[in-house]
Structure formats: C-alpha cells, structure tokens
Amino acid sequence: MKVWRVAVLVGLGSVLGLVWNAASGRGLALARNVFLKDGDDVVVVADARARLERGALFLDARPAAFYQMSHVPGALPLPEDDFEPHFARIESRLRSALDVIVYCSGYGCEASHDVARKLKERGIPAAILHEGWPGWQEAGYPEKVGDAP
C-alpha cells in the first residue's frame, strides 16, 4: 500500500473534474449558488424582517405540515409540491400585494426558488429569502404556530 498513490488518484480526479467543468460547456460557476438563476431577486433575513414590518406578504413554500408547525406571522402557505390549488386560492391577494417574499427550509431547499419563478411567470414578482426559515428562526424573529396566517 502506497499512500502517495492514493494522493495521485485524488489529484488526478480533481484536475480532470476542474478541467471538465471549465472546458466542457456543461460546468457550473464554482462560486455561485446553483439554485440561483439570472433574474432571481434575493433578500437577506434582516432586510426581509424590515420589509415584513412595512407590509410585505410572505409565502411559505414548504409542505403544508411544516407551515402548521411554525411560520412567519402573516405568511400564506404556497407549498411548491401543491402549488396550483394553493395559488388559485390566494391569487387575488398576491396580485394586489406590493412586496412578496418566498421562503422555504434554508440553504438546501430549492422550493422557494421554484415558487418565485412560477409566480414571475404569472406576472407576480417575488423575492427569495436567502437564509430561509432556519435563518429567520436563528435570528430570533417572531413565529406563529397553526393553520392561520
């Protein structure tokens, strides 16, 4: 067993991967979050809190059960996995809102991005809460439990 050979294999794989990423045309921007696309509007949690106090409408893109456990006060449920019926129920409210912010379960969650893009396709601009629900909780901002917004 020669440890330097293991290091060579790791090094070879790493170089091949980085070259392929740069030259294949299929690669990704290494420093950029892959959930984000051009045109996405992202808001950090402190700014989101300030916008809540100015009347922003929050949308919870997590599955409905998570909304019931706890959510941003005033937020409406718009789960990504059951989008259409929920959207139909709140469409008029969304169209009259001046500021809309969508959140989900944090950095590993893409539901808020998907919901924001679906809203944009329907002519409703919406920002994405960068840190998601965990960031909101960690900041110690208010929470609400149950079905009611």
Q: For the stretch 139-148, what's the b/e string if a residue is b when 16 or more beta carbons lie within 10 angstroms of its beta carbon?
A: eeeeeeeeee
Rule CB under 8 A: is residue 54 a binding residue for other proteins? no
With 0-12 / 13-18 / 19 or more C-beta atoms within 10 angstroms meaning exposed / middle / buried, residue 87 is middle
- Tell me the closest approach of the beta carbon of residue 44 to other proteins, in angstroms: 10
Rule CB under 8 A: is residue 69 a binding residue for other proteins? no
Stretch that binds other proteins, among 6-14, 47-55, 69-77, 86-94 (CB under 8 A): 6-14
CB atoms within 10 A of CB 129: 27
Rule CB under 8 A: is residue 145 a binding residue for other proteins? no
CB within 8 Å of 107: residues ≥ 6 apart = 131, 132
Rule CB under 8 A: is residue 79 a binding residue for other proteins? no
Rule CB under 8 A: is residue 65 a binding residue for other proteins? no
Residues 101-130 that bind other proteins (CB under 8 A): 106-108, 110
Rule CB under 8 A: is residue 50 a binding residue for other proteins? no
CB within 8 Å of 131: residues ≥ 6 apart = 44, 45, 106, 107, 138
Site string for other proteins, 11-30 (x = CB under 8 A): -xxx-xxx-xx----xxxxx
Q: Which residues form the interface with other proteins (CB under 8 A)?
A: 1-2, 5-6, 9-10, 12-14, 16-18, 20-21, 26-35, 106-108, 110, 131, 135
